Amino acid sequence: MKLEGNCQTTAMGIMPHTDVDRALELALSLDIPFWPQLPKVNFFEDMYAQVSQHFPGIVLDSEKRVVSFSIDKFYEDFEEYMPHWEEEEFFRLSPEYSLVFHRFLEQDLSKFKYVRGQSIGPVSYGLKILDETNKPMIYYEEVRQIIFDFVAKKLKAQVSEMQEVHPGAFAWVDEPGLEMIFMAMTGYSSDRAAEDYRAFLENFPCPKGVHLCGNPDWSFLLNLELDVLSLDVLARGHIFSRYSEEIKGFLDRGATISWGITPTLAEEYEKENIESMIEMLDTIWDSLGEAGIPREQLLKQAWLAPARCCLVNQDGEETVAKSFRMLQEVADHFKGQL
pTM (predicted TM-score): 0.96
**Alpha helical stretches, state H, 94-136:** 99-105, 122-128
Q: Which residues of 285-321 are buried (b: 16+ CB within 10 A; e: fewer)?
A: beebbeeebeeebbbebbbbbbbbbbeebeeebebbb
pLDDT interval class at 189 (50, 70, 90): confident
Output the CA–CA distances (angstroms, integers) from residue 196 to 120, 146, 148, 152, 295, in the order listed: 16, 11, 8, 12, 34
> 123 and 183 in contact (C-beta within 8 Å)?
no
Q: Where are the domains of the chain?
A: 8-335
pLDDT at position 217? 92
The two beta strands, 256-262 and 302-306, are parallel
* 88-142 residue pLDDT tens: 999 999 999 999 999 999 999 999 999 999 999 999 999 999 999 999 999 999 9
* 298-309 residue pLDDT tens: 999 999 999 999
pLDDT at position 69? 98
For residue 187, is pLDDT > 90?
Answer: no
The two beta strands, 209-212 and 256-262, are unpaired
pLDDT at position 184? 65
> 74 and 57 in contact (C-beta within 8 Å)?
yes
* Four-CA torsion 65, 186, 246, 253, nearest 10 degrees: -50
| Fold exhibited by the domain 8-335 | TIM Barrel (3.20.20)
Q: Whole-number mean pLDDT of the chain?
A: 95
Task: Give the separation between CA 310 and CA 192, rounded to whole angstroms.
Answer: 31
* 43-71 residue pLDDT tens: 999 999 999 999 999 999 999 999 999 99
Higher per-residue confidence, 325 vs 188 = 325
* 221-272 residue pLDDT tens: 999 999 999 999 999 999 999 999 999 999 999 999 999 999 999 999 999 9
Task: Give the separation between CA 56 and CA 52, rounded to whole angstroms.
Answer: 9
Task: Give the separation between CA 179 and CA 226, rounded to whole angstroms.
Answer: 17
- Give φ, ψ of 68 to 5 degrees: -135, 180
Peptide bond into 306 cis (omega under 30): no
* 15-41 residue pLDDT tens: 999 999 999 999 999 999 999 999 999
Q: What single DSSP character describes residue 136?
A: B
pLDDT at position 182? 84
